[in-house]
Structure 1
Amino acid sequence: MDWIAVKAALLAEGRVRIVGAPAKEYIASSSAGPGAGGAGSVFFSVGGRRVRLAVDPDAPLTLVHEGKGNAAIPFRGEMVRGVLEAPALHCPRQAFITLTPGCIFSCRYCAVPACSGGSRTTAEVVAMVRSVLERIDAISITSGVAGSVEEEERRTVEVVRALVRFGLPIGVSIYPTADTPRLLREAGADEVKFNLEAATPGIFAEMCPGLDWNLIWEVLVESVRLFGKNHVQSNIIVGLGESDDEIEAAVHRLCSIGVIPILRPLTPSAGCAHLRRPDAGRLMRLNEIATREIREGGLDPAEAQTMCVACAGCDLMPGRE
């Protein structure tokens, strides 16, 4: 079985209808990232390699849960057999926690601004991590912006300081200020993820009004200086209207400064609900580009310990497949 081809096809669909034995214990809910505010998702794993699929009773793709986590997906005339991985918090083997589920910004592709609920306190986050401690290898923190970027930064730094006691690698992904990498490093974070989101400044300006594309680049450069290669990540969303050449240029630039690029297939929602999810062929082409650039940049995603690169469920991730 060509896992890359299978995973690309599954990611291109993105949704699955679950039939068979009850699978509630394997369904993860999300308040950030793809599927925020949706019906949840499952992590289907084949030989230790996983793909995350949103749960949708109307999806054309079917997952048959045979019981006790054993599952199969009919695919191109064959049955792809694997297991469902039970999430710890949001994803398998990590406590991946969103501090603030809503956001004052209105990025067009993002469903987070429509999510409701107050910010979690430091005590609540510590209790959540403690509740899954025996099932995790890492802690990852993300957040929307409740009031201001600076306020969210302060709250996140406080949470990281409180989580160091658990002795697990800590990754953080928030919208930054220029000081965020230094403050997180001093607090005890091990890895960071600041998202470029779009492959070009023009698309970024259209999709993320009020946010600063150039600031993200400056923060990424500083983050590599503080955290080192293989410990800084950045998303580029695929499907916002960019060309493959524009993706390649952005990936090359990220790798050249020591940042692991994550090519995230668009989840059509919010202001991008009318757009199409990228097809499997494009995902595979871009994965070949990313694989080459990562290798030539001297990066090794297998060294990442937290967040999306460590999970690799939502994306084709060179070095993790």
Structure 2
Amino acid sequence: MSSSTRVDVAIQGIRLLDAPVARRAGAGPSDDGHVLLDGVGAAIPLNPRSPYTVSGGRLLLDGADTGMGVEAVARPRFYDLRTADGVPYEQIARLHSARVLATTVVQTCVRYDEAERCRFCAIEESLRQGSTIAVKTPAMIAEVARAAHELDGITQMVMTTGTSNGRDRGATHLARCVRAVREVLPDLPIQVQCEPPASLETIQELYDAGARSIGIHVESLDDGVRRRWMPGKGSVPLAEYRAAWVEAVRVFGWNQVSTYLLVGLGEDPDELVAGAEELIAMGVYPFVVPFRPLAGTLATDVDRVPAPPSDVLHHVTARVAAALRRAGMHGAGQAAGCAACGACSALSCEGA
């Protein structure tokens, strides 16, 4: 697969894409359809103005075959089920790519007031649209995970959460949910995602619960960018992130800790790459993805910020991938999580 084409599709999306597995709004990259590009999972924006289309299982650019095959991920069978209380399973957890189950265990965030909200985030929009529920109980998540494993063959799971008021910032409920899933699926790899907890002992608790990788997502290492884009989350000092990453690497191991780095927030590309290299030296995988305009976010509805240029994203992705390769660090080496899945980034196309 051409990495430049993969990057361009990540920015421009695909027009008229029939994607049975798709996501609108939410805590992370969404408004996308999940497909296999040359057999590799990819979450691609659904863009009615994209020059890319699909015909006969081929990806076309302005009508010309790019040489890349496209196959939509089939709707999973567990989506047709409900709990005894009548809650649809797909409101509890969703399929990402072809074999990853993902859930936001708490769909609200203490930082969602407009003055504090991350401008790229729409975590509560899916709740307002009625496509999810506010809090998923451990029992609910375990029930859905078992069904998704038995019916659709999921091979890993990702659990994230909105930030809470507590010192744990939501990690305690994550740990309960992990334990519940491990009781019914003891061999299923699980990644958890949260802000740095106030007490670093919480990281050990997440591991002891059964999580085998962790994402502590900073999005940007530039304090100016953090203040503009994440006024609430940006109030957590980078020193707390670094301390949490160090402890997480100690607990979970080298290349079992990751963080998102978003391209397109106004950061200097060279500084972003240098920051990624610092993370790699710590044993943390920098998961480089483009900022994606998303309806319902302040960045799109108010600021009208576009996606980054494809050439900038490709340049940054290639340089970070080269640093990852030099370190022998690969997303596929993570037990579970976004880097292990790889659908939202082009790093895997660059051998990382």
Q: TM-score range by the shorter chain?
A: 0.7 to 0.9
Q: How much has 1:65 moved relative to structure 2?
A: 6.2
Distance 1:4 1:29 in 2: 26
SS of residue matched to 2:280: helix
Tell me if structure 2 keeps the 8 A contact 1:50–1:312: yes
For residues 282 and 141 of structure 2, what CA distance do their matches in structure 1 show?
Answer: 33
Unaligned residue ranges in structure 2 (runs of 5+): 77-93, 112-116, 128-132
Corresponding residue of 1:170: 190
Q: Which blocks of at least 5 consecutive residues in structure 1 are unaligned? A: none
| Letter of the 2:345 counterpart | D
1:259 is aligned to 2:284: yes
Corresponding residue for 1:137?
Answer: 155
What is the deviation of 1:112? 1.4
Which of the residues 43, 47, 61 maps onto 2:34? Answer: 43
Q: CA deviation at 1:61?
A: 3.9
- Superposed, 1:69-148 pairs within 5 Å as 71-75=57-61, 77-79=64-66, 80-86=68-74, 89-91=94-96, 92-105=98-111, 106-116=117-127, 117-134=133-150, 135-148=153-166
Contact persistence 2:10–2:45 (CA under 8 A): no
Task: Name the counterpart of 1:32.
Answer: 27
Report Cα offsets for 1:111-134 as digits up to 9, x if no partner: 114442421111111111012113
The structural deviation recorded for 1:241 is 0.4
Secondary structure at the aligned position of 2:142 is classed as helix
Identity %: 22
Conserved? CA contact 1:28–1:87, under 8 Å: no
Quote the residue 2:80 is aligned against.
none
Q: 1:297 to 1:155 in 2, by over 3 A?
A: same
Please state if 1:11 is matched with 2:10: yes
**Aligned amino acid, residue 59 of structure 2:** I
- Aligned with residue 299 of structure 1, among 329, 333, 339: 329
- AA at the equivalent of 1:280: S
Letter in 1 for 2:147: S
Contact kept, 8 Å, 1:30 with 1:90, in 2: the verdict is: no
Tell me whether 105-114 or 117-126 shows the greater mean CA deviation. Answer: 105-114
How far apart, in 1, do the equivalents of 2:109 and 2:55 lie?
36
Give the Å deviation of 1:90. 3.1
User: What whole-Å deviation, never above 9, does each CA across 1:188-211 have from its counterpart, x for those lacking one?
Assistant: 110001112113122113222233
Matched positions, count: 307
TM (normalized to structure 2)? 0.80
- Counterpart in 1 of 2:298? 271
Q: CA deviation at 1:63?
A: 3.5
Q: 2:244 aligns with which of 219, 226, 243?
A: 219
Q: What's the secondary structure of 2:15's corresponding residue?
A: strand
Deviation at 1:150, TM superposition (A): 2.7
Identify the residue that residue 81 of structure 2 maps to in structure 1: none
SS in 2 for 1:150: coil
What does the per-residue CA deviation read over 1:176-224, in whole Å, with 9 as the maximum and x for residues that have no partner?
3033321111111100011121131221132222331321121111111
1:161 equivalent to 2:166? Answer no
Partner of residue 85, structure 2? none
